[in-house]
Amino acid sequence: MALSSLVQTPWKGKAKALDQDFEDLDPVITYRHLHAQNLGVRDPLRVIALCDSDAFYAACEMVRLGVDKDTPLVVLQWDAMIAINYPARKYGISRLKKYNLKELKEKHPDLMIVHVATYKEGEKEPGYWDDVDTKTHKVSLDHYRRESMKIAAMFKECLPGCETEKASIDEAFFDFTKCVREIILERYPYLKQVPLDAPDGVDTRLPPPPPIAWDGLGHVIPVNPAPAGEGNAEGTPSNQEASASTRTDEASDPPCTWHDVALSIGAELINKARQQVYEKLGYSTSAGIARNKFLAKLTASYKKPNSQSILRNAAIPKYLRPLPFQKIRFLGGKLGTAIAKEFEASTVGDLLSISLEEMQRKFGEDSIWIYEVLRGIDRSEVKEKSAVNKSMLASKNLPTPITDASEGLHWIRVLAAELALRLNEARETNPNLWPKSIVLHARRGYEASRSKQAPFPFTREVTVDTIAAAGDKLWKELVGSELATKVTSVQLAFTGVEGAEAGQRSIEGFLTSAQSAKRQRGDDTDIRHVSLDDSLADQGNDIATSWTNGPSGDRSSDAHVPSFVCSRCGKKIILPSTTAPSVYEEGHLEALRREHDDFHFAQDLAKESAGGLVISGPSKSRTGNGKPVSGASKGSPKKKKRRKDAPENVGIEKFFRKP
């Protein structure tokens, strides 16, 4: 019944109000809008894309194994399926169910079943083994992380000048607004000048846009979707990319706008990039193109795999209304559940009757974000993220809880080995990367997990031993002297991982100059060649650490107090005797010396860099644009506190423990 009132002819008269709940979907676009440089999130020609990799982990394994694209393949982690590629989904295999692998193989002889790579006791690097066992192995996701970086790099290469934000291991956002604007001006040069007879000067509405050839650009989500049960809804195979043209009520679609032109150009751009990624790297992807991030994300899932979809503004109302709102980013968790309960709602349409005031009364000031999102508005920006993750976590769940104290130390060592490998690999491209602190989490039975953390001093050579020693110390603080039993989960993490993020050349040039300067000085503070930890580092996960006296001269004349004198600053460095002796603490003097050396090294770096190299401090993410608060506090909603901005650059000394 309401249908007839919705099927109107919006292009008749002023093209306004496509739907009374959704304003702002057909704004007047003027020459001023087109020529403006920084309209940001309010730009009426904004174009955002979200691209994600189809069944990413499974795709990684397919590429690694070089199998045909139609090969059904699943990825296991112990006996759970963590990825199922699309060919395998045709067998009805789903993520949740547990499978008897024998039966599964018998039923589908061509199904490839791959277990993720694992670290194995005694092996230095993760690998693919036949005898995976959760009691002795630890999962490694390194391969996926590396492939993810390759894909991200290729997207950036294919899309120069586009803002990109890697949102997770398998997806990224792109802001095409700027490049699209340039292309529009190139293709339609008559828009460069405001016509002399324009009634309102730069504020004159743009002339009608040219017709859009959607062919090959993806699925254009229909403005008036076919009723459920007929037509090609999701899942129906279709070779045609744009499917709207077969419908009889096509005529009721409103005419295209300049924003639709912009979307179609965005679709061209992402399409080319996706093709490159597929051809060069072998990964199929799905993309969504829309006016903002949350809609782009939603749109990407319209048709998968290996496809892309476009959501015109005009299609937003009917696309959103029936959508279960808990599918929207940030409404999938407790907040979404609370909203569903509070208003007895399940779809976006159910919530459109809730006024902003009521929403805010129940869920706080910030829920204006929710109010807007339900109406297709999202002001969050596509923000370039640092290439390096700020934290690095290695964790292990223990199916059989720890019964012996030594087991905890064993797992810490395995986790430390992984962290060492990962940090050092990251340092290959970002040499002076370091974590501000190290954190150990442990959980007993089903209790909440507890954690302890400590600063992690800068050292150029990060070894298993350095990390394990720090981990062991935290372990003692965490579980104390009481017997470590019933521990069901151990996590070791680096946090505050950062370093120089300036251009690669400047970093390298800088390092070599610093090092050659050092060589010229004839400094002998570099003791890496006699480092105890270095000799141990080659032994993989071996725990054995027998105490050997350092090379002669390592100790001062005082035989009772382990110490040394720095040749650069003359300072006597004494090993603090605050902790009880332990096999894991025997390398401490060496560690201290290296640390002290690294202190000088970094000071040199800081001095010589003066303007060249930027050591970035923690940069605050601004929250003034209506973004959701992801870490919502439980209980009654709190008002958001505006925190003061931290200074952009933090002195390098902050990151060092004073020697």
Partner DNA sequence: GTGGATGAG
Partner DNA sequence: CGCTCATCCAC
579 lines the binding site for DNA (CB under 7 A): no
What are the DSSP E strand ranges found in 144-277?
Answer: 163-168, 171-175, 219-220
* Beta sheet of 450-455, edge-to-edge order: 392-397, 487-498, 434-444, 450-455
Question: Bridge partners of 81?
Answer: 76
What is the C-alpha separation between 474 and 415, in angstroms, rounded? 14
Instruction: Select the residue interacting with DNA from 108, 330, 486, 506 (CB under 7 A).
Output: 330
Spell out, one character per residue from 81 to 110, where the chain touches DNA: x when CB under 7 A holds, - when not: -x------------xx--------------
Look up residue 501 and give its two tokens. Answer: 């993020």
Q: Are 124 and 463 in contact (CB under 8 A)?
A: no
297 lines the binding site for DNA (CB under 7 A): yes
Instruction: Select the residue interacting with DNA from 306, 389, 424, 563 (CB under 7 A).
Output: 389
**Least Å distance between CB 334 and DNA?**
3
78 lines the binding site for DNA (CB under 7 A): yes
CA-CA distances (angstroms) from residue 69 to 85, 188, 260, 492, 566? 10, 40, 33, 37, 60
What is the C-alpha separation between 297 and 545, in angstroms, rounded? 51
Instruction: Select the residue interacting with DNA from 33, 115, 120, 138 (CB under 7 A).
Output: 138
Q: Are 28 and 259 in contact (CB under 8 A)?
A: no
Of 84-92, 204-212, 224-232, 443-451, which segment contacts DNA by CB under 7 A?
443-451
Residue 222 or 637 having the CB closest to DNA: 637
**Least Å distance between CB 318 and DNA?**
23
Enumerate residues 36-75 that contact DNA by CB under 7 A.
none
Instruction: Select the residue interacting with DNA from 102, 135, 644, 654 (CB under 7 A).
Output: 654
Of 243-251, 266-274, 326-334, 558-566, which segment contacts DNA by CB under 7 A?
326-334
**Least Å distance between CB 454 and DNA?**
6
Residue 225 or 455 having the CB closest to DNA: 455
Residue 61, class by beta-carbon neighbours within 10 Å (0-12 exposed, 13-18 middle, 19+ buried)?
A: buried
Beta carbons within 8 Å of 340's beta carbon, 6+ residues apart? 325, 326, 346
**Least Å distance between CB 291 and DNA?**
18
253 lines the binding site for DNA (CB under 7 A): no
Judge if the upstream peptide bond of residue 637 is cis by omega within 30 degrees of 0.
no
**Least Å distance between CB 490 and DNA?**
9
Residue type, 294: F
Of 18-26, 393-401, 551-559, 604-612, which segment contacts DNA by CB under 7 A?
393-401
113 lines the binding site for DNA (CB under 7 A): no
Look up residue 133 and give its two tokens. Answer: 């066992």
Beta carbons within 8 Å of 460's beta carbon, 6+ residues apart? 432, 528, 594, 598, 601
145 lines the binding site for DNA (CB under 7 A): yes
Look up residue 341 and give its two tokens. Answer: 């309960």
Give contact residues for DNA (rule: CB under 7 A).
77-78, 80, 82, 95-96, 134, 138-141, 145, 167-171, 297, 329-336, 385, 389-397, 418, 437, 439, 448-455, 489, 621, 623, 627, 629-634, 638, 640-641, 654
